Amino acid sequence: MSRRLAKVNSLLVEVISEAIRRDVKDHRIPELITVMESDVSADLKHAVITVSVIGDEKHKKETIELLNELRTQIAFCARDKVSLRYFPHLRFVLDESVDKQMRIEELLRDIKEKES
């Protein structure tokens, strides 16, 4: 990844996180959302935004659907905070790494208990 893309990704994480927390006025957005990373395309026209959501599977799915529904409004709020010629089209996806890590730790605990 080029240095420029890395900088744009870092900037997008910051401004999108701020836009979700402060600027987008929608009561359906839960408090416990963290923007984890951005993966912007080489032409800067598209960005996949990975977010972590606390809650059960249904809550996580609904939150991702809501963020994708509000992506134009989120982009509009975030656009004012960056100086890019074109602001990328956003797509939100769920970060499942925390769930995977918890599952691995659970399996390791089970193995350790069985060995004892």
pLDDT score, position 25: 84
Give the torsion through C-alpha atoms of 96, 102, 106, 111, to 10 deg.
80
Please give the class, per CATH, of domain 3-115. Answer: alpha beta
Per-residue model confidence (pLDDT) at position 1: 66
Name the strand (E) or helix (H) holding 47.
strand 46-53
pTM given for the model: 0.81
The domain locations on the chain are 3-115
pLDDT for the residue 64: 95
Q: What is the mean pLDDT of each run of 10 residues along the chain (116 residues)?
A: 89 94 86 91 94 89 94 92 88 85 82 83
